[in-house]
Amino acid sequence: MIARILAVGRIVVVTVGIAIAFYWLFGGNPAAALHVVTFTTVGLVGVISFASHVIFYKSDAERLGWTSDHPAFQFEVGFANLAFALVAFMAFLGNWGEAAEAAIVLGYALYLLQGMLFFIWRVFNEKKPRLWFNVVSFFLFSGMMLVFVIAALGDAGLPPFVH
């Protein structure tokens, strides 16, 4: 049950973070948009994901339909999320700048896109069509994160957008 609450919490944080970021992006401030995304969709979501995968791993495994007596995989995923979250918070609070935040958000987006590929594999190989929600949500979440990375890098004239 707690894993479902945490999953909804992730969706709420992503929705609010992306909405605020789009406000800043359309307002002409891609750096502020990326700053919000760094804090919310990487930092907060990373901590919530860590809690879900490590602290409440039994509930999370049940929610995902892969109960096991050996939760090492979940712990690995949880600690990866926590690592991204901690670096995101350091970049956010330490004002590391657009390049650092872009790298962190890009790394997390690519990490999630790889998770999406795993869910696609499970849909077809384990015959779990209910996981299409995960595929679509990971794709949209990662795609929107990439929009903010590209916009901020382009605005700052940073690679790969050097003029």
List the one residue out of 27, 32, 83 whose CA is nearest residue 53.
83
pTM: 0.90
Predicted confidence (pLDDT) per residue in 76-112, tens digit? 999 999 999 999 999 999 999 999 999 999 999 999 9
Domain range annotation of the chain: 2-156
d(CA 117, CA 123): 10
In which band, very low, low, confident or very high, does the pLDDT at 44 lie, cut at 50, 70 and 90? very high
Predicted confidence (pLDDT) per residue in 106-161, tens digit? 999 999 999 899 889 888 887 777 778 878 888 999 999 999 999 999 888 877 66
Range 60-88 average pLDDT: 88
Q: How buried is residue 126: exposed, middle or buried, by Cβ count under 10 Å (0-12/13-18/19+)?
A: exposed
